[in-house]
Amino acid sequence: MIVYFGGERDSFYALGMVALPLTVLLWSAFRFRPIWTAAGSGLSVMFLTSMTGLGLAGFQPPPKTLDAVLLLAFMLLFGVVPLAVAALVNQQRRMNRRMLRLAIRDAEAQRVVLESVVADRTRELNEANARLETASQTDPLTGLRNRRYLANQIPADLAFYERERMRTGRADALLFALVDIDHFKRVNDTYGHAAGDKVLQQVSCVLTRLVRSGDYVVRWGGEEFLLVLRPVAREFVPVLGERLRAAVEEHEYDVGVPVTCSIGLAEYPMFMEGQQTPGWEEMLELADAALYWVKANGRNGWATLRPTTETDIKKVMTELRAGAQALLESGQLSLISSQQAQPRDPVGRSGP
């Protein structure tokens, strides 16, 4: 009001003389940090005071009180208003920065919480999927692996075996052992299915105790079990077959009756050189044929079918379903079996 009043009375110091520098100072208050606005205000006041005091560049000392008041008002405008505006702007900036930091901190906290929730849900989902996968590959009665597990696992095992065989040059055999409980139907018919289930569980425990790290036992179906044994020297195959047979026979079962088994063995690879060796499905067919040879010739024993110099694998796999006997008689296969394998059972004992 003082500046306006003075300017209206044709003072030495017209109101327009302060408009441009004051505008620049106000602009700097919004644009720059307060220190620069303060510096600009101080320089402007010093410049105006110096010019007025010296009477230079059209500036004259105030000749009367009104002009002095007006000059002081100009000084006040230059010195106080930009600084006040700068202080307010700076306070607002600091408030905005504080609010921004709080918003960032809250957002970071929410992100951490969300990531933790997502991680927990992901872990729970992975654990649930793992449990489902394990359950889908596990026999519920015995707790052993099932056929699905074998189908998923055996290709990797054979690939690893082939790499090791190429690296070491050893002629060890990966062994498939198909174990069938003898006369299991009699146990179910005589003592009930609960007793039969108990026998299956106890046989699975016996077989599990016999395997080494890297071996595994599979519930193949019904009263049949499949053991996949890591590579061993071929001369020890009969030893392993007899060890399995004896362990099942010597165990004391809750049903109170002896339990024996028949075992068919197959050695992978079937051929060490020359012909292409059959895949694991064909090796199981060989083990199955050896198993049924044992069952047809006394049970409570083991047998393994091996190739000869006359073996034609395509012919063998085609004719194997009719039984191993014809292939043995034609010299396509040779047989190694336990001493417990006796002549064929009398009529009425050829069932499972």
CA distance 244 to 142: 18
Proportion of the chain in helix, strand, coil states, percent, rounded to 5: 60, 15, 25
The CB density around residue 308, as the number of other CB atoms within 10 Å, is: 12
Question: What are the DSSP calls for 21-78, one per residue?
Answer: HHHHHHHHHHHS-HHHHHHHHHHHHHHHHHHHHHT-TT----SSHHHHHHHHHHHHHH
Contacts of 249 (CB under 8 A, 6+ apart): 258, 259, 260, 261, 300
Q: Please pick, among 8, 162, 164, 223, the residue that the annotation labels catalytic.
A: 223
Whether omega before 140 lies within 30 degrees of 0, making that bond cis, reads no
Burial of 230 (0-12, 13-18, 19+ CB in 10 A): middle
Give catalytic status of residue 223 as yes or no: yes
Q: How many C-alpha atoms does 21 have within 13 Å on its Cβ side?
A: 16
Catalytic residues: 223
